[in-house]
Amino acid sequence: ALFLRVSLFRLKDLEVAELGDSDVHVKMLAAPINPADINMIQGTYAILSPLPAVGGNEGVGEVLEVGQRVAALKPGDWVIPAGAGLGTWQTRGVFPEETLLKVPSDIPLLCAATLSVNPCTAYRMLADFETLAPGDSVIQNAANSGVGQAVIQIAKAFGIKTINVVRDRPDLPKLVERLMALGADHVVTEEMLRKPEMKDIFKSIPKPRLALNCVGGKSTTEMLRHLQPKGTMVTYGGMAKQPVMVPVSAFIFRDVRLRGFWMTQWRKDHAQDQEGLTSMMDALCQLIRRGQLAAPACTEVPLQDYKAALEATMKPFTSSKQILLL
């Protein structure tokens, strides 16, 4: 069993590095704890930082000072990491200019702090695998995750219907209500995927052409039953730590496609495509400004209480993202 020893972490006072000509001195404002951060610490992620390392792949900071050769950023600008592994769980840092992306400072702080991972993942998966038109539908599991909440809101803004699968839990009605308020069209439990009532859902909306999976195991197999022929399932996580199981008949008789997605890889592949990145960020910031995309449900925690925040992230059925306030 994998576990995270919170005792591996220390809060340390370090000197801020010298500011080089192409560097930016940033005062970090807020940084979330994401599942990938935990996986990196456990050593099960595809990128691992050489130790000792600062945790955190995501967050927002304010530029305090820039090196002589820095042209695109100025003091007062808000910045987020351009890629993974920046180490955002710190109060201040000096980073090379190319590791940072400028974001508008007129969006809510928590939206900016959680912008570069979950909403981008949701946006790319909705855009890149199937050509979806208003009225089409998407099915996803772990719909209460950060990505799941973003998928619901972005799909709604584009007129795409969502069928959202969550695990059964003690406070299920409250969760259903919360997801419906975000714009979910249907919220079902994993057990319901097998039941005849699912047919009722497809009286009013078409069967999905796209399924988004971050669980694996039985959940995946059940979602696949409802996918249209030639539909695509995209796997972007494996919370159940079980393989994706697909019946042979789904391949032969329904020609379903199975794909994978990793936001870090997308960024690497599009390193030269500034336009693609900018247009995605602009689209997401527009949705935020219009009130169509909110930050996920968050719990704000001062950096000193990082131990409690890490422990809370690991608890089952968490629907609130822990955000370190720096």
Residues 187 and 113 sit within 8 Å (Cβ to Cβ): no
**Catalytic residue from among 45, 123, 236, 306:** 45
Annotated catalytic residue 123? no
Burial call 214-249: b when 16+ CB within 10 Å, e when fewer: bbbbebbebbbebbbeebbbbbbbbbbeeebeeeee
What does residue 190 show for φ and ψ, rounded to 5 degrees? -60, -35
> Which of 135, 158, 149, 130 has the alpha carbon at shortest distance from 214?
149
Query: What would you measure as the largest C-alpha separation in the chain, in angstroms?
Result: 66
Q: Which residues are catalytic?
A: 45
